[in-house]
Amino acid sequence: MTLMPNIRGLTLAVLLAGLGSGAALAQSGYSPQQYQQQQQPRRDLRAYPPGYYPGKLVQPAPQQQQGFSLRRFFGVPDTPPPPAQVPVVRPRRTAPPATAVARQEKPKVDPSTHVVVFGDSLAGFARQGLDAHFAENPDVEVVAKVRGDVNLVRADPADWPNFVKTSLDGGQKTSVAVMMLGTSDRQSIREGDETIEPLSDRWKDLYRKRVDAITAVFKERGVPLVWIGLPPMKNSKISDDLVAMNEIYKESVQRNGGAYVDIWPGFVDDENRYTPDGPDVDGEPAKLRTNEGIFFTRAGSRKVAFFADTEIKRILGQGGTATAAAPSPANITPADGSATPAVEAAIPSPPDAAAPISLPSKPLIGPVLPLTRQDVTPSGTLVTAPPKLTGENAYPIQRALRVGIAPGSRPGRADDYRWPNP
């Protein structure tokens, strides 16, 4: 009788313990299945191969290296360095062997024409242009007699004439002499104790005498002279003075039988003012003057030579060879000395063949001319200022050329587009 109550009490205690454990599991967040799994006995991993775990793969832990390492001391993992990349060497393409081309040299010909250039620093640029101009002509040689540090004002009046005499009489062959002088001659001239101001009337007289002394030497030696005038400069005051000096050169050279070359139109713009740019000898736009506005570039030197070449060719083409005239048949005497029979003399001679008509040869390249004509005074000198339009035609010309308004058409003219036609 006493056993039954004890069994009931024990069963109730077990149930209460189960309920307590279930409540505890619920409070702890574990499910009964998870609890059962944790209660299962742990499997011995030594029975499985390394890196294998029942249900999933496990990466084996790296083996610790023996010895002291700074990386392990500071907590840096010992990772092996990445393998070095071996550079890929691609085969280089070898160029095909160049075919040896024999350099064709121009035959050495003893030139028959000698162009001797005299003058100051500007003459040196003229010589460079002539060298380039006659580079393809082996029969022409350009010789330089340039003195860049000697002018015509400060030097002794007989210095330049003596230099020219020494050059011509010293064995130098000269077919044509080219002169370009006066770059630094805008200075005062000493006459005894008196100083003559540049470009004054007395200065012009003394300067003309010095130019005459040079041109007279070429005239006495019978050497053709081509004098190249001075170009405009960047400074307008210098350009005005050079216009007066060019007049002295032109008058003296032409009076002594030489040729004067005016290069001024090739280095000015439409308004007769200095310009550093312009068309070259091929008509292409190029820079003709250097930055200081005095000297020439390579294209400018070629242009100076192009102007001078016109006179050089004219001078060299003046000479000709005399041709012996063919004897007339009526003047022929027989070899035995007897006279020509009258019958044969009475027979008319056959008509002569028509002689070929010699046409003038047209030059391949003509002189470089500006598109707009330069304005000159009635005496032939250049106008320093553009002309002013006056008169009854001034207004329509200004409207058409400066404003761009075309003049009205006249009735019946080709540009009369009125409709209907009157």
Residue 102 has pLDDT above 80, yes or no: no
Of residues 346, 184, 180, the one with CA closest to residue 260: 180
**CA 323/CA 223 separation, integer angstroms:** 25
Three-point CA angle 15, 19, 22, nearest 5°: 140
Q: Sheet harboring 176-180: ordered strands across?
A: 140-146, 113-119, 176-180, 225-228, 259-261
At residue 125, the pLDDT reads 95
**CA 302/CA 297 separation, integer angstroms:** 9
Q: What is the DSSP letter of 152?
A: S
| CATH architecture of the domain formed by 113-316 | 3-Layer(aba) Sandwich (3.40)
Of residues 207, 206, 212, the one with CA closest to residue 182: 207
At residue 321, the pLDDT reads 30
Across 51-65, 80-94, 384-398, 405-419, which has the greatest mean pLDDT? 405-419
At residue 364, the pLDDT reads 72
At residue 369, the pLDDT reads 66
Query: pLDDT tens digit string along 56-86?
Result: 555 555 555 555 666 666 666 656 666 666 6
Cβ atoms of 125 and 301 within 8 Å: the answer is: yes
At residue 171, the pLDDT reads 86
Across 51-65, 180-194, 347-361, which has the greatest mean pLDDT? 180-194
Confidence of residue 328 (pLDDT cuts 50, 70, 90): very low
Residue holding tokens 């050329």? 401
* Mean pLDDT calculated for residue range 328-354: 48
Please give the residue that has the higher pLDDT: either 205 or 374: 205
Locate all alpha helices (DSSP H) within 266-385, ordered by sequence.
Answer: 298-316, 342-346
Residue 156: count of CB within 10 angstroms of its CB: 10
Identity of the residue numbered 42: R
Residue holding tokens 């001679």? 349
Lowest-confidence region among 25-34, 151-160, 355-364: 25-34
Whole-model pTM: value is 0.53
210: which 2 tokens? 């010095």
At residue 335, the pLDDT reads 43
Cβ atoms of 115 and 129 within 8 Å: the answer is: no
Cβ atoms of 254 and 218 within 8 Å: the answer is: no
Residue 327 has pLDDT above 50, yes or no: no
Report CA dihedral (209, 212, 214, 215) to the nearest 10 degrees: 170
Query: pLDDT tens digit string along 218-251?
Result: 999 999 999 999 999 999 899 999 999 999 999 9
Residue 154 has pLDDT above 70, yes or no: yes
Residue 210 has pLDDT above 90, yes or no: yes
At residue 246, the pLDDT reads 95
**CA 129/CA 297 separation, integer angstroms:** 10
Please give the residue that has the higher pLDDT: either 320 or 98: 98
Mean pLDDT of the chain: 75
Residue 278 has pLDDT above 80, yes or no: yes
At residue 6, the pLDDT reads 56
**CA 41/CA 302 separation, integer angstroms:** 109
Residue 333 has pLDDT above 50, yes or no: no
Confidence of residue 316 (pLDDT cuts 50, 70, 90): confident
At residue 351, the pLDDT reads 59
Lowest-confidence region among 164-173, 281-290, 352-361: 352-361
At residue 65, the pLDDT reads 55
**CA 218/CA 116 separation, integer angstroms:** 12
Cβ atoms of 135 and 127 within 8 Å: the answer is: no
At residue 105, the pLDDT reads 44
Question: CB burial class (10 A; 0-12, 13-18, 19+) of residue 235?
Answer: middle
* Mean pLDDT calculated for residue range 363-375: 68
Query: Domain map of the chain by residue range?
Result: 113-316, 387-422
Lowest-confidence region among 27-36, 136-145, 170-179, 327-336: 327-336
Residue 406 has pLDDT above 70, yes or no: yes
* Mean pLDDT calculated for residue range 111-119: 93
270 φψ region: left (φ > 0), alpha (ψ -120 to 50), beta (else): alpha
* DSSP run (H or E) holding 127: helix 121-133
Query: What burial letters (b/e) apply to 49-71, b meaning 16+ CB within 10 Å?
Result: eeeeeeeeeeeeeeeeeeeeeee
